[in-house]
A and B are shown apart, each in its own frame.
Chain A
Amino acid sequence: MLYLRDRDMAAPPKPVEKVDGVVIRFAGDSGDGMQLAGARFTSETAMMGNDLSTLPDFPAEIRAPAGSLPGVSGFQIHFSDHDILTPGDEPNVLVAMNPAALRTNLRDLPRSGTLIVNRDAFTDRNLEKARYTANPLEDGSLDDYHVHEVPLTSLTLEALKDVEVTKREAERSKNMFALGLMSWLYHRPTEGTISYLEKKFQSRPPIAEANVLAFKAGWAYGETSEDFRVTYEIAPAKLPPGTYRNIRGNQALSLGLLAASVKSGLPLFLGAYPITPASEILEDLSRRKDFGVRTFQAEDEIAAVGAALGASFGGALGVCTSSGPGVVLKMETIGLAVTLELPLLIIDVQRAGPSTGMPTKPEQADLLLAMWGRNAESPVPVIAASTPGGCFDAAIEAARIALKYRTPVFLLSDAYLANGSEPWLIPDVDFLPDISTRFADAESHEGDFLPYRRDAETLARPWAIPGTPGLEHRIGGLEKADGTGNVSYDPDNHDHMVRLRAQKVAGIAADIPELAVDEQGDEELLVLSWGGTYGPVQAGVRRVRNDGGKVAHAHLGYLNPFPRNTGDVLRRFEKILVPEMNLGQLSKLVRAEFLVDAVGYNRVRGLPFRSSELAEAMKGML
């Protein structure tokens, strides 16, 4: 791999130290371009073949007041020469672009960690905004860290003095200087970033030039500055063979929905209303007209799901994407879909609540909302994605269930999966499941067409779409007579229909994989997790095992119905720990369903679990 075109002209190489993994956090003002720097570093790292996991952490405000504490935006990347599960509990290296970034992030950096700061940003004004009474670069408070004070702003300005950009534009390139320095320090390839910048700023060549020059200047600074004496090398990880790309959860979900459309042979209709952190799926799919995707940015959350249901009635794969505050508005329509028994996907990219809560921060507190957030008995299958890449498979599986059982299906993701990234083994399209379904037509039934006559095995009703001659029928929210679907107020019929709808959903348990347990066979403690916490929980389990502890782990991707062996699994263990980013929602479900004494580990900090805290919680139960 080519590191830099003019490498030969640089100073003699510095000593190289081999490490097995590192966690870097870029932190700066929202306007400092930390997310871009982080994303580029991630791409470079992916191209190196390291395993990686990322965690962007940014405020909901697009541009909070410059230099202020709430305006700090961070991006953490964990990369290694072996397979990893999380973006790392704490950084080994913190890049702090201003005093506010230092103040809000320093508490996560262990003593003796490496700190790279932009010295130019430590002005009296910025120190005051970050509520420092003394300059931490001068008062000795950073003595326990390996501090590199780099005049990032002035070096960038100096490097760009001959480029035709304003001072402000030149200053804005300092994130690329920082990226260049970090790329040098960790031997990242640079070609990708250079061509990325050239393309991104294609229409403004001076800006492109400025960014590329700043990037190269950062690299050169590392090579020549006395301040950096060694560089670090992280060997590629040994991952299963195949072709990989780096992917974020929302991207994987969009691709999964497209794959579901292709594999079902049904056109995709997405109704959505912009909402963080789900909007990106609407944005992604609105570009995919080449797949015949219809995206409808509705006037509100209710219209979004309504239109998706209307499209389903017409034979499309109807999908709506949202987050908790939007999902609550959709519940009446989801109830209608329950009784209409039409396929519909509801994707909830969960965020911290209640109400508006913390829009950019993850939580998994919508589980009971998905389970029971509708009037009366209205069961809906619920599944949850476990990793960013896993969002792809979860989308296809949600579609499979919805189409086969003619039911709305909840797919739960969260802000951590949505924005986090990892290398993804690109699946072979030919081996994706066939989820095609059959519409009712004149040949598919005997005698009169009965819109609520059920398939004996799945209990699904026929899907007769408008345009099919002879099958004209009316459906609606009023209770229907079994078979005919005509309006019925008959007491016994209602009792029967309520039970039939419940049975249909419960019966899906026979059609999903059993719950797998990661165990040696002699454990007393089972950790039961679900959804987006898979990485940190499994990493916590590995920590405990490394320390000699015995712990088994089972992770649920299906929440309703549960896998058919769930009760058997839970009853095999003496102790059950259920870590959740809520106050105990899965705990309640398994306690109620299986009468087991599940103990919760519950934190709602708007941040993913740390594997270390989970390991402690597990050890506390051994």
Chain B
Amino acid sequence: MKDGNGGRPLVQLTAKDFKSDQEVRWCPGCGDYAILAAVQGFMPELGIARERIVFISGIGCAARFPYYMQTYGMHSIHGRAPAIATGLSSSRPDLSVWVVTGDGDALSIGGNHLIHVLRRNVNLKILLFNNQIYGLTKGQYSPTSPLGTHNKTTPFGSLDYPFNPVSLALGAEATFVARSVDTDRAHLTEILRRVAEHKGSAFVEIYQNCNVYNDGAFDAVREQENRILLQHGEPIRFGGEDGTVERGVVVRPGGGVEIVDVASVGEDALLRHDESAEDPSLAFALSRLSHTPVGPTPLGIFRAVERPVYDTLMAEQIEVTKRELGEGDLKKLLHAGDTWAIS
């Protein structure tokens, strides 16, 4: 993120420098703590002065995040963080702007803003903490809760088919889409690193445990045998440790991908992951391997491609116009067109 520091020398900071003086008030045991620690631990790597970093959030448990970061921040209103961040980022390309959101905030009340910010490719880093539940309002089902979820507002089971956030982001023309897990600090940090390097909208779904209202929702992906770690250029394979069967992903005849035993198809048949593919079809197919993560689930970067950045295009239009027409002259503009004088 060289563009984030206005060409200034990189700044040497530590994780401690990014801790604000505010007491963190998530429930003890909440996955948000781990994510906060990972982000604060990663921030010094950015090499950007704290005053050039802004965290913007909406409403929900995750949305308290900015209060705990010793940067500029805004805890805004439900679902609108991407819109507010668009205004900030596009008018201040010198800043590094991060959006912290949750499954209800980003995908329910703010769904419209999320898809539009992604298609525009505004230079925002979007961290979606997905816990499949409304935590702050005490346990109602969310747009990522599995069908049939029983909780306060769905005593007979939820009727809503859930969103798959990665599929949604890919469908919304996102240029960078990734998934990680709250407690896997090494993996999350690696993803954050790539997020920071990406020019344009970078979207990360982070599986986050709500130990109060939805404990254990992501236990399956904490098991090694279910973690499909996507690595660019490598065959997609997982498991095989501790006597488990090694499995892999192949392209299914007629479209889509499927999981097979590596032994039954041979290594050469495995799909090699290409995060930079222009066509998002295979990335989308990978995202469909697990709709709600109860079995083998891909983690890592699904898609990372380059496309012109909204903020840059906006700045360029201004630059080009000023070069061609000259700096706007108010007096001249007020007198433009037909005028007449009365003496």
Contact = CB atoms under 8 A, between A and B. Distances in A.
Given A255-B334, A472-B70, A486-B22, A296 B90 contact: yes
B330 A258 contact: yes
B292 interface: no
Interface stretch (A310-318, A524-532, A552-560, A592-600): A310-318
Contact of A467 (B92, B317, B326): B92
Contacts of A483: none
For B75, B76, B325, the residue with the greatest tally of chain A CB atoms inside 10 Å of its CB is B76
Contact of B87 (A43, A269, A473): A269
A30 to B, nearest CB: 26
Q: On chain A, which size bracket covers the interface?
A: 35 or more
Residue of B54, B72, B112, B326 ringed by the most chain A CB atoms within 10 A: B72
Contacts of B82: 303
Contacts of B59: 477
B83 A303 contact: yes
A426 B337 CA distance: 12
A32 to B, nearest CB: 24
A405 B342 CA distance: 39
Which of B49, B66, B74, B333 has its CB near the most chain A CB atoms (within 10 A)? B74
Interface in B288-343: 314, 317-318, 320-322, 325-328, 330-331, 333-335, 337-343
A479 to B, nearest CB: 12
A378 B335 CA distance: 40
Contacts of A474: 20, 22, 66-67, 69, 72-75
Among B22, B89, B338, chain A packs the most CB atoms within 10 A around the CB of B338
A292 interface: yes
Interface string B42-76: 00000001111110100100000011011111111
B36 interface: no
B287 to A, nearest CB: 23
A239 B342 contact: yes
A290 B51 contact: no
A255 B314 CA distance: 21
A311 B88 contact: yes
Interface range for B: 35 or more
A262 interface: yes
Interface string A301-326: 01110111111111110100000000
Contacts of B272: none
Interface SS of A by simple majority: mixed
A240 B338 CA distance: 18
A427 interface: yes
A332 interface: yes
From A192, A308, A336, A472, name the one whose CB has the most chain B CB atoms within 10 angstroms.
A472
Contact of B338 (A245, A258, A262, A306): A245
B178 interface: no
A499 B72 CA distance: 27
Interface of A: 43, 46-47, 49, 192, 236, 238-246, 255, 258-259, 262, 267, 269, 271, 288-294, 296, 298-300, 302-304, 306-316, 318, 332-333, 336, 340, 426-427, 429, 466-478, 486-487
Interface of B: 20, 22, 49-54, 56, 59, 66-67, 69-77, 80, 82-92, 94-95, 112-113, 116, 314, 317-318, 320-322, 325-328, 330-331, 333-335, 337-343
Given A290-B327, A303-B86, A312-B87, 18 more contacts: A192-B338, A239-B342, A258-B330, A267-B91, A290-B322, A292-B322, A296-B90, A299-B113, A306-B86, A307-B86, A309-B84, A310-B85, A311-B87, A313-B87, A314-B87, A429-B330, A474-B69, A474-B74
24 contacts: A46-B338, A242-B342, A243-B339, A244-B340, A258-B330, A288-B333, A296-B87, A299-B83, A303-B80, A309-B84, A310-B56, A310-B89, A314-B87, A318-B87, A332-B80, A333-B80, A466-B72, A466-B88, A466-B95, A467-B51, A474-B66, A474-B67, A474-B74, A486-B22
